[in-house]
Structures are given as structure tokens and as C-alpha cells.
Amino acid sequence: MAIMERKIIHCDCDCFFAAVEMRDDPSLASIPIAVGGRSDRRGVISTCNYLAREYGVRSAMATAQAIKLCPQLKVLSGNMQKYKDVSAQVMAIFKEYTDLIEPLSLDEAFLDVTHSECCSGSATLIAQEIRQRVRDEVGITVSAGVAPNKFLAKIASDWNKPDGIWVITPDQVEEFVLQLGVNKISGVGDKTAEKLKSFGIETCKDIREKSRIELIERFGKFGQRLYELSWGIDQRPVRSSRVRKSISVEHTFPDDLPDLESCLAQLPALLAELEERFARHSSQRQVGGAVVKVKFFDFVQTTAEHALTVAEPSHFRQLLIDAYSRGNRPVRLIGVGYRLKPESGGEPQQLSLLT
């Protein structure tokens, strides 16, 4: 396989929302803080500073659980517009070094600096300069990973957090990849890690000991991906525009919904919000499927979906019934959405969701 060698930087702002709050109120820097929803409203932590992480507080954790772990935790409601403005400042700095920028969220992005003439073409020096400028001009810190591809750059940016940089040169790829645990591979969660372990795989070195055919037979297309990544191969380009694949809305309820009927009663409001959100894209995109997500009171979640081009309330009703039947217990969150077809030159198909 021919490997295209690139110079990729992955920049990741450290505890972004919390960092902005600490910048604007320095007194917060000496205490554990988090940005998230209120505990009495089933809130969830968006992010927290490193003092809070020492107590085990993590993103996506229920606020109530976070406060149990860290009773002195100060939870801030946050200001999304402020975070967007700060993100725009950071992205503007990135833009001065390359036009090939792929934002992954407000606080992280890939940069392809292969052909950049800044800093004499050195990706390492570019990353260092970006980090210094964000610190000086924006007032927050950024960790960066520099590597020949996106897979390795993203791992590298997490290698020396917070406020650090890690560089993997082409001649260091072999040694670096061999030591990696499979949990470092994007797409390998706890369940997939268990399946891999049952197959005798815990590291990238273990993956290499399996044949490509064995991996594909056991894990399908993901097996091919595992094989390539275990050799440090990732040919994905940095894409400056990302295609939206789905649109959805979800609500976490202040009190658990006790039964199916109470869940179904929430559908009209959810679908109205979904229709409003889709209206912003309906002239460009077509619907390819309907999706319902249910998260039960014990945080176990499931999704039900169906391929279709015209979504009616009855479709979502049946998907909700199907999803609920897998748990038959109180529900804390319901989400509804639809998959979008790949962009094409055909005429868009309007949803008849509320008509």
C-alpha cells in the first residue's frame, strides 16, 4: 500500500469551557469547577477543570454524580455564545497557518500543514507557535499532537496534556504504534475492547499478529481499519468542510418517565423541535431514515431506526415502542432524529412530519 506522507497537527483546547470561565474569573482557577446542567434538573457535565478531574469528575457524567464525587464542585451553567466567540478566535489563528482545517468541535481541529511555508515548513514549530499565540491572544491553553496522519496526531495531542505537545516523526511511527493499547483507537469502546480481548488482542502489536483476512472475517470493515491502524496507516485527508450525516434533538427529563404512555406523550414536542431544526437544511438535504434513542434510568441506552424518505409521526411512535420494549423500565432521556442521504444533485425530499 502506497502511503502518502503528510504533516498533520491536532490541536485540542484544554478543558475548553472551564478554561474560558477560569480566564474570565481567575478565582475559579484554584477550585474544582465544571460547566454543565443543574443536578436537580438531571443535568450533565459538559466539561470540568483538572482539579475536578482529580476527584473522578468527567465529561458526560450526571451532575448529581459529579457532586457526590466532589461535594465542593462549583457547577457553572456556561455561556455557549461566549464559547463560540472564543472558538472563532482560536480558529482564526489556525487559519493563518493553513487553509486545510477540519474542526471536530468548538475546541479541537486537525490542521494539514504539509505545504505550509510558515516556520520554515516545520510542523513542530508551527504547533509551538500556535500554542503560544492562543495562550497570549486568547488566554487559554492548547495541547497539540504532530504526526504524519490524523490517527496518530489525535493520539499524540492527548499524550502530554494539559498544555503540552507531542511529536511523532515518520521514523518514530513504528515504535510508537507497537506500544498502543487498542483503547486508543477511535471506535474501540468498552464493548469492542472486550470482543478484541476475547480474540487475543489488547495492543496494536497483537493486531499485527492476526492476518488481515482473520480480522475482516471477525470484525467486518472495521477489521480492515484495525489492520491499517496497527501499522500506523491512515490515509484520510484533512477535510475543510464536513458533511452533516444526521439531525436530531433529545431531552433529558427532570423526573424519570415511568411507562411507555408517558414516553409517547413526549413525542409531539420532540418532533416539533426536530422539524424546526430540519427546516434550516431541508432545501439542500434529503431524509434517509428515522431514529429514536431511549436512555433508561440506569443510563443503559438503545436506538431504533428505519430507512425511509418520508417520516411521519406514526414511524417515530413505532420506533419509540420498539426501543422502549428492550428495557421496559423508567426513561430519563428520549431523542428523535433522522439520517440524511449523501448530498447529490437530485431534488430534495421534504418531510411530511407534521402535516
Crossing angle of the two packed helices 267-278 and 313-325, in degrees rounded to 10: 120
- Looking only at the bridges linking them, the beta strands covering 165-167 and 142-147 are parallel
* Residue 25 assigned as binding residue: no
Determine phi and psi for 12, rounding to 5 degrees: -135, 115
Strands (E), the chain: 8-13, 33-36, 45-48, 74-76, 101-105, 108-112, 142-147, 165-167, 246-257, 287-296, 301-307, 331-340
Other C-beta atoms lying within 10 Å of the C-beta of residue 184: 18
> Under a CB-based contact definition with an 8 Å cutoff, are residues 354 and 275 in contact?
yes
Q: Is 273 a catalytic residue?
A: no
The dihedral through the CA atoms of 75, 137, 113, 102 has a sign that is: positive
The three-class DSSP label of residue 184 is: helix
Exposed (0-12), middle (13-18) or buried (19+): which is 200, by Cβ within 10 Å?
exposed
The alpha carbon of residue 339 and the mean position of all alpha carbons in its chain are separated, in whole angstroms, by 17
* Residue 107 assigned as binding residue: yes
The single residue of 5, 21, 96, 108 carrying the catalytic annotation is 108
Give the integer Cα–Cα distance in Å for 170 and 137. 32
Give the integer Cα–Cα distance in Å for 332 and 301. 10
Helices (H), strands (E): how many in the chain? 14, 12
The three-class DSSP label of residue 335 is: strand
Q: Which residues contact 335 (CB under 8 A, 6 or more apart)?
A: 248, 249, 250, 251, 270, 291, 292, 293, 294
Report the binding-site residues for Mg(2+): 12, 107
Query: So which residues are the catalytic ones?
Result: 108
